[in-house]
Amino acid sequence: MAFNIAIDGPAGAGKSTIAKLVAKKLSYIYVDTGAMYRAMALYFLRKGIAPQDEKAVSAACDEITVTLSCESGEQQVYLNGENVNGLIRTEEVGKATSIVSAYAKVREKLTQLQREMAQTTDLIMDGRDIGTCVLPQAQVKIYLTASVETRGKRRFLELQEKGTGCRLETICQDIKNRDEQDMNRKLSPLRQAEDAVLVDSSFLTIEQVVERILEIVEEKE
Ligand code: DC
């Protein structure tokens, strides 16, 4: 049986940075499920389908094929055969993703794909519902979180580095809204699985979080 590590937590807690590093250390495949939801949202936006229109979004789901590949150690997301990695990280796509990821048809499609991948491959998968819903049998479950202020500051610095003007207050408010949406939706809301280990990264360096997770994995292996 494949060894699966599930990492869930709110936006900006550092899941993908940490999961990538842990995957490298363990020579596991890293699967960023948020990117899969983002690729689907990009499709709806391009088609002019309003994210709020659940009926239209659900009807269009069958037109979409999302595939992942690992190229030079980096996950690449393909939307109907097109590499959309560089197009899915915008605020517009992020907001649309938070809305469409609440729909049953969207979740069913990606959950099935994620389970298929995890069956045969040792992997570390990050998202919102991996430990609670996608891989309830995962050998290791981590709930990685950080305070809104910490996550806001990290995002603020990231945007500043890219030369994008922004206000810290606005970013923190956006984070709160995203948390609210992800935690209070009916289907697969973001929450800590009962058997997940809580790791709060607010006052930890990236290296410390990676170390902590590797310790947890070692205990379970
Ligand atoms: O991790 P991220 O910021 O790329 O996720 C984008 C959105 O996708 C986020 O609003 C929650 C949603 N998502 C989800 O519902 N389930 C997952 N397993 C991963 C992401």
47-73 tens-digit pLDDT: 999 999 999 999 999 999 999 998 888
**Of 33, 95, 110, 175, best ligand 1 pocket probe by most atoms within 8 Å of the beta carbon:** 33
Q: How much is the pLDDT for 123?
A: 96
Q: How much is the pLDDT for 71?
A: 87
Strands 66-71 and 197-200: unpaired
Does the C-beta of 101 come closer than 6 Å to ligand 1?
yes
Q: For 216, what's the count of Cα atoms within 13 Å in the CB-facing half-sphere?
A: 22
Does the C-beta of 34 come closer than 6 Å to ligand 1?
yes
Does the C-beta of 143 come closer than 6 Å to ligand 1?
no
pLDDT in tens, the chain (221 residues): 799 999 999 988 999 999 999 999 999 999 999 999 999 999 999 999 999 999 999 999 999 999 999 888 889 999 999 999 999 999 899 999 999 999 999 999 999 999 999 999 999 999 999 999 999 999 999 999 999 999 999 989 988 888 888 899 999 999 999 899 889 999 999 999 999 999 999 999 999 999 999 999 999 87
Closest approach atom of ligand 1 to CA 37: 8
What's the CA gap between 96 and 131, in Å, rounded? Answer: 24
Q: How much is the pLDDT for 158?
A: 86
Q: How much is the pLDDT for 53?
A: 98
What's the CA gap between 104 and 106, in Å, rounded? Answer: 6
Give the length of the chain.
221
Closest approach atom of ligand 1 to CA 8: 18
Does the C-beta of 126 come closer than 6 Å to ligand 1?
no
Strands 74-79 and 66-71: antiparallel
* CA nearest ligand 1 atom 1, residue: 34
Q: How much is the pLDDT for 64?
A: 98
Q: How much is the pLDDT for 2?
A: 93
Contact 138, 7 (CB under 8 A): no
